[in-house]
């Protein structure tokens, strides 16, 4: 962790809680007066919203029901790897935005003088000059497969991965609330993503330095009929460290600060779900401080 231009990666599947983790990092950045270059994983999708729907339909007509946002055919894996490599070397890289909403479209069109709609991409730009580190958050940040090795360029890699049933419950409820999908439609999406999930999402968590895994303490045995998402008070968070020399942590301090936490293994601590944000700050703050201090 002595790189001049550090690269921090937060990776996890849709609905896993990476946005929550992003907020915790932003709080630390503000506290340390760190200026990050934010890079969003969605911006590396190969297709915009309309083109993706067309591609999915074409693949189904050809008998392929497993064409998803999780795989290499729909993402610019090499472009992600190149962005990490370029930033680590020069402090700059190519970036664009995927526009999610009308408000984002208005913001980017105002800034860029464009006329883009939700579901489209902004143009690629060379960015990063004057920033302290690159912060990536998205589906793929530590993929090692075929001719791609993103993980080698991440100075700190954090995985966010709820138990699979909890992840499905969160996705079903989110898709219904935000997109109007029925539970059946979301289940079809989950099924179509499964091969790519197994081959390209799950293996990343063996590459990450720290994993935050939320586990429900209530019954989630049938996620497809669950009426509610388990609350933080109904959850525990398992925090695992891959290499304590690379990411040292004072477990005694964490247990003292966070009531109800306990060690389950020499490199794993469990905290109450409603203390996840506090745990992240206590654990990650000194690591990021060291990362920046060693630049």
| 196 contact partners, CB below 8 Å, separation of at least 6 | 66, 68, 70, 71
The DSSP output letter for 121 is B
Q: Tell me if 19 is assigned to some domain.
A: yes
Across residues 121-145, what is the average pLDDT?
96
Judge whether 146 and 140 are in contact, CB under 8 Å. no
**Does the model's pTM come out above 0.75?**
yes
Q: Where are the beta strands (DSSP E) in the chain?
A: 7-11, 36-40, 93-95, 125-127, 133-138, 144-145, 148-149, 156-160, 210-216, 235-241, 262-265, 268-272
Ranges 22-26, 51-55, 81-85, 156-160: which has the least confidence? 22-26
Say if 194 falls within a structural domain.
Answer: yes
Structural domains of the chain, count:
1
Query: pLDDT, tens digit, for every residue of 188-227?
Result: 888 999 999 999 999 999 999 999 999 999 999 999 888 8
User: By residue range, what is the domain housing residue 182?
Assistant: 7-92+128-294
Q: Which residues pair with 265 in a beta bridge?
A: 268
Looking at residue 2, its pLDDT comes to: 46
CATH classification of the domain holding 184 = 3.40.50.300
| 182 sits in which H/E element | none
- Structural domain includes residue 137: yes
The mean pLDDT value for 236-240 works out to: 96
- Give domain status of residue 120, yes or no: no
Percentage of the chain modeled with pLDDT above 70? 97
Residue 118 falls inside a structural domain: no
Residue 81: inside a domain: yes
Q: Please report whether residue 146 resides in a domain.
A: yes
Confirm whether 111 is domain-assigned: no
């Amino acid at each position: 962790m002595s790189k001049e231009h550090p690269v921090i990666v937060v990776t996890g599947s849709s609905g896993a809680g990476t946005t929550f983790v992003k907020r915790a990092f932003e709080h630390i950045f503000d506290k340390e007066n760190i200026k990050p270059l934010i890079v969003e994983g969605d911006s590396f999708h190969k297709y915009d919203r309309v083109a993706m729907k067309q591609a999915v339909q074409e693949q189904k007509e050809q008998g392929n029901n497993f064409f998803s946002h999780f795989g290499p055919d729909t993402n610019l894996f090499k472009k992600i790897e190149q962005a990490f490599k370029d930033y680590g070397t020069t402090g700059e890289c190519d970036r664009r935005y995927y526009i999610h909403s009308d408000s984002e479209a208005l913001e980017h069109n105002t800034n860029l003088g464009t006329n883009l709609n939700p579901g489209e991409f902004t143009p690629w730009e060379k960015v990063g000059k004057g920033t302290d580190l690159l912060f990536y958050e998205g589906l793929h940040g530590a993929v090692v497969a075929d001719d791609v090795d993103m993980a080698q360029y991440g100075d700190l890699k954090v995985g966010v991965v709820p138990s699979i049933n909890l992840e499905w419950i969160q996705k079903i409820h989110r898709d219904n609330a935000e997109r109007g999908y029925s539970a059946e439609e979301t289940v079809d999406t989950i099924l179509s993503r499964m091969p790519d999930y197994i081959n390209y999402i799950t293996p990343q968590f063996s590459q990450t330095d720290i994993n935050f895994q939320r586990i429900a303490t209530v019954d989630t045995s049938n996620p497809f009929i669950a009426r509610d998402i388990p609350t933080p008070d109904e959850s525990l968070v398992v925090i695992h460290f891959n290499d304590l020399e690379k990411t040292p942590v004072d477990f005694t301090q964490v247990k003292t600060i966070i009531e109800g936490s306990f060690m389950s293994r020499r490199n794993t601590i469990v905290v109450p779900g409603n203390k996840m944000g506090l745990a992240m700050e206590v654990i990650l703050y000194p690591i990021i401080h060291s990362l920046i201090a060693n630049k």
